[in-house]
Amino acid sequence: MTDRDPIAEAHAQWLAHGWGDAADGMALMTSVVRAQQLVHERVESALRPHGLTFARYEILRLLAFSRRRSMPMSRLGSLLQVHATSVTSAVDRLEKQGLVERLRRESDRRVVLASLTPAGEELVERATADLNEQVFTSPGLDPDEVRTAIELLSSLRSAHGDTVASLRN
């Protein structure tokens, strides 16, 4: 591990090469990507003992939040903002783990539902408790910084076309 900040060094290189108008944006984007890598590893570390990735956890959590504990596969993709093939792959793995099963909607047999099994419901609650304890309650910033970061990232998401709503406590 080095004591030098590679993002600051890259920023200096951008300036030295005459790209001053882009240097801060490069540093921002590189910082966001690096921060995502660091946070993602913390999340994955908390989920690993449960045999889950964050993508699979998100599916289980969405299903657990839903009233019927099931949801059309297409709706999962829409809520998670991922391609249908990603949802299919994750549900395949969850199904092999016995955490989700595929069902057909009685009113329209063409609609495939992902449905949470009792084992999936139990596991997602344990995994959520671990994520809350190990990651979400202390993400690495103080509470005021967390709110500021959420606001700044919401602005960035909005600038790139995401629909963003204000968070309420």
What pTM, to 2 d.p., does this model score?
0.87
Residue 169 has pLDDT above 80, yes or no: no
Cα(97)–Cα(78) distance, rounded to whole angstroms?
23
At residue 163, what are phi and psi to the nearest 5 degrees?
Answer: -80, 125
Count of other CB atoms within 10 angstroms of residue 113 = 19
Decide: helix, strand or coil at residue 94. helix
Collect all residues with Cβ–Cβ distance below 8 Å to 154 and sequence separation of at least 6.
164
Residue 106 has pLDDT above 80, yes or no: no
CB of 104 closer than 8 Å to CB of 113 = yes
Angstrom distances, CA of residue 145 to CA of 93, 112, 119, 139, 140: 37, 42, 37, 10, 9
pLDDT of 49: 97
pLDDT-derived band at 2, boundaries 50, 70, 90? low
